[in-house]
Structure 1
Amino acid sequence: MSKRHSIVPPISQAGPKPPVQLSSSLTIADSAVLTGSHPIAIHGETVIHPRARIESLCGRVTIGRRCIVHERATLGAVGVSGRVTENAVTLGDYVTIEVGAAIQAGETVIGDGTTVGVQAKVGAGAVVGKHCTLTPHTEIAAGEVIPDYTVIYSNGMRRTDRRGVTELRNKAQARQIEVLRRMIPSNPAKFA
């Protein structure tokens, strides 16, 4: 009788171990990968899922308060230019990076309260405003600037979100983080 489930091997650390500044209230899975030579700063109550990858090869990566970085998401991916910058990637507070999304390095900024959907891609140097929603499979071009409260669909259509639900979304994010903190075994000492 064969077992129907497979065992996922642990993710190994590839590349240099970066200098880190980790909040004491951070939840980071043991199988997350932090690599690079520039500092990685992760602020309070943020959750980093298993197999999330944070790369600081091209510059500093800063993740704000109460963010969620899901499985197989990549922050600081080396873009076409591969140039070193002062800040490779900056996430504001209450940002969600969903499964398989990729944020390229190069002064890339994701504003407070923004959700980057499943397998969405944000090019190097793009600036995504506050409280935006990038739906699954959306692609933002390198250097593009997205205004606050913009919803972008994978077919390129855009609209402004005028619902005024910012506070409700932040409260929902905080509740989700409470649940994730109980579900994901955290091992920040591995990365220090």
Structure 2
Amino acid sequence: MSSKRHSILPPVSSSGPKPPVHFSSSITIADSAILTGTHPIAIHGESVVHPRAKLDSLAGRITVGRRCVVHERSTLGAVFGASGRITEAAVTLGDYVTVEVGAAIEAGETVVGEGTVVGVGARVGAGAVVGKYCTLTPHSEIAAGEVIPDFTVVYSNGMRRPDKRGVAELRNKGMARQIDVLRRMIPSNPTKFA
């Protein structure tokens, strides 16, 4: 009976090396987030890292901008390709970026611009550059090395269109409110990762 119980518990620690971290004093990071790797992981002011989010700096540094939200089961960083090899490469999230549940952003000098939403289950390939205030809809994919212009909506079927809604300022205000709520809901333990 106890083996069944252990098999359904969520992972609460990583088995890899403990990376050097640089955290703002105002972040919220769940105790069950997974940080692993050998390169630095920096998380800037008022950002939130949900339980079971994985930040893997094996391939290179990870920088999370100000007021970002990294949701459950999302992955930032090292993802091994078919060759099983990775070269040193970083992941950078601009300010006000949302990485939704199950999304993956691969290492490779990959950049996600300010205010962008990476939808549920979306994937951003190694070396891709996603512009500011883009929306990657659920299960959409950005190919390795691809460049997405600012204010672009990318659909899961590969279609794209410019986003002319002009909601950047409203999106940032909504994000600030969401972060305020999350800070009260998620028990934070940044000292666990220091």
Q: Into which bin does the TM-score normalised by the smaller protein fall?
A: over 0.9
Count of equivalent residues: 186
Q: State how far apart, in whole Å, the 2-side matches of 1:33 and 1:154 are.
A: 28
**CA distance in structure 2 between the aligned counterparts of 1:9 and 1:125, rounded to whole angstroms:** 30
Matches within 5 A, 1:9-158: 9-80=10-81, 82-85=85-88, 87-158=89-160
Q: Could you say if the C-alpha distance between residues 10 and 122 of structure 1 is closer, same or farther in structure 2, counting changes exceeding 3 Å?
A: closer
In the alignment, which residue of structure 1 is the partner of 2:178? Answer: 176
Q: Is the 8 A contact 1:79 1:106 kept in 2?
A: no
- The AA in structure 1 aligned to 2:71 is H
Contact residue 29 and residue 50 of structure 2 kept, 8 A: yes
Once the two structures are superposed, residues 111-140 of structure 1 have per-residue CA deviations (whole angstroms, 9 ceiling, x without a partner) of 000000000001000000000000000011
Alignment partner of 2:169: what SS? helix
**Structure 2 unaligned blocks of 5 or more:** 1-6
SS of the aligned residue for 2:90 comes to: strand
**Cα offset for 1:12?**
2.1
Give the TM-score normalised by the residue count of structure 2.
0.93
How big is the shift at 1:79?
Answer: 3.8
Query: Structure 1 length normalisation: TM-score?
Result: 0.94
1:186 aligns with 2:188: yes
Where in structure 1 are there 5+ consecutive unaligned residues? 1-5
Q: How far apart are the structure 1 equivalents of 2:145 and 2:8? A: 40
Give the C-alpha shift of residue 83 in structure 1: 2.6
* Partner Cα separation in structure 1 for residue 167 and residue 154 of structure 2: 17
Find the residue that maps to 2:22 and give its secondary structure.
Answer: strand
Distance of aligned partners of 1:78 and 1:7 in 2 relative to their CA distance in 1, 3 Å threshold: closer
Q: Deviations over 1:40-74 (max 9, x none)?
A: 00000000000000000000100000000000000
Q: Is the 8 A contact 1:112 1:130 kept in 2?
A: yes
The structural deviation recorded for 1:163 is 1.2
Give runs of ≥4 in structure 1 deviating > 6 Å: none
